[in-house]
Amino acid sequence: MSKIEDMKSLASDLASGLKKLGPNRTVALSVHVTKELIEELEAKAKELVNQLEEMNE
Is the CB of residue 11 less than 8 Å from the CB of residue 3? no
**23 phi, psi to nearest 5 deg:** -70, -20
- Domains of the chain, by residue range, sit at 3-56
Query: pLDDT digit string (tens) for 1-56?
Result: 688 999 999 999 999 999 999 998 888 899 999 999 999 999 999 999 999 999 88
Residue 57 has pLDDT above 90, yes or no: no
pLDDT of residue 1: 62
Contact by Cβ (8 Å): 20, 37: yes
Q: The pTM is what?
A: 0.86
